[in-house]
Amino acid sequence: MSTHDVHRNPLSPTPRTTLTRSKERGATDRAALDAVLDAGLVCHLGVLLGGSPVALPTIYGRLGDTLYLHGSTGAGNLRAAIDTDISLTVTHVDGLVYARSAMHFSMNYRSAVIRGRAVLVTDEAERDNALRVIVEHAAPGAWDRVRPPNRKEMAATMVLALDLAEASVKMRSGGPNDDAGDIETGGVWAGVLPLRQVWGEPIPADNLEPGIDAPADVVARLTPVAVPVS
């Protein structure tokens, strides 16, 4: 499939992405994959580098059925990913599940695993658009406000495209799955400690000239601070 094609494919796990444990936590809706990817900021790219496996944090962006990665042309992990099988994961931790027994402690989470072959993007128009997609994924509204990459910067940048056809999604939510005997015994607190990621107040650069405020698209991302109820 061309990386220009944004046709929506269904989420159809292959033997490599079919869940073998806790299958009830798997998601079959393709929208679930999009939601996990679109909510994340960093993926872990798993490759063989020098004959040994390594998983490195990498920024990304999604356009339809294609996930884009970028980095320096000197990045060994990206060079190792070209035209070979790779694994890419995105995980969100939503809470820690406290149980009445040590074996039933767990986490609430959303995760996605993508398998496939990354393709080096050489078409200049697609490379430009891929970088826009990546920047806009991390910082919505920024691309049109800042200077675009120049020729020298583009020459030093590698862009890879990964088809999302082979993927799986797994999630957990809710409270602890304690044994009936532990529940009847009682005396131990059980429940969920939610975890959330928040955006704080913008910190201007030390060399920012006076009179320039944070743009609206930055301010709009701030997480509202809860006001205690007296």
The answer to the question of residue 28 being in a domain is yes
Residue 109 belongs to a domain with what CATH number?
Answer: 2.30.110.10
Domain assignment of residue 135, given as a range: 23-199+212-219
pTM reported for the whole predicted model:
0.85
What is the tally of structural domains in the chain? 1
The answer to the question of residue 29 being in a domain is yes
Instruction: Give the separation between CA 15 and CA 25, rounded to whole angstroms.
Output: 17
pLDDT digits (tens, 9 = 90+) for 83-135: 999 999 999 999 999 999 999 999 999 999 999 999 999 999 999 999 999 99
The answer to the question of residue 7 being in a domain is no
Instruction: For residue 163, give both structure tokens.
Output: 């088809």
The answer to the question of residue 118 being in a domain is yes
Instruction: Give the separation between CA 218 and CA 158, rounded to whole angstroms.
Output: 27
Least confident range of 7-16, 62-71, 131-140, 214-223 = 7-16
Helix (H) or strand (E) holding 37, with range, is helix 30-39
Which residue is it, tokens 């994924």? 137
- Mark 44-74 as b/e (b = at least 16 C-beta within 10 Å): ebbbeeeeeeeebebbbbbbebbbbbbbeee
Question: Of all residues in the chain, what percent are helix, strand and coil, respectively (each to 5)?
Answer: 25, 35, 45
Is the pLDDT confidence value at 228 over 90? no
Q: How many residues are listed for the chain in this entry?
A: 230
Bridge-based pairing of strands 119-120 and 66-72 is unpaired
The answer to the question of residue 226 being in a domain is no
The answer to the question of residue 159 being in a domain is yes
pLDDT digits (tens, 9 = 90+) for 159-192: 999 999 899 999 999 999 999 999 999 899 999 9
Instruction: Give the separation between CA 17 and CA 30, rounded to whole angstroms.
Output: 14
pLDDT digits (tens, 9 = 90+) for 136-147: 999 999 999 999
In the three-class reduction of DSSP (H, G, I as helix; E, B as strand; rest coil), residue 181 is classed as: helix
Check if the beta carbon of residue 218 is closer than 8 Å to that of residue 202: yes
The answer to the question of residue 227 being in a domain is no
Q: Which long-range contacts (CB under 8 A, 24 or more apart) does 214-218 make?
A: 215/141, 215/145, 216/141, 217/139, 217/140, 217/141, 217/142, 217/145, 218/139, 218/141
Instruction: Give the separation between CA 112 and CA 99, rounded to whole angstroms.
Output: 25
Is the pLDDT confidence value at 46 over 70? yes
Q: What does the angle CA 69 – CA 75 – CA 80 come to, to the nearest 5 degrees? A: 75
The answer to the question of residue 230 being in a domain is no
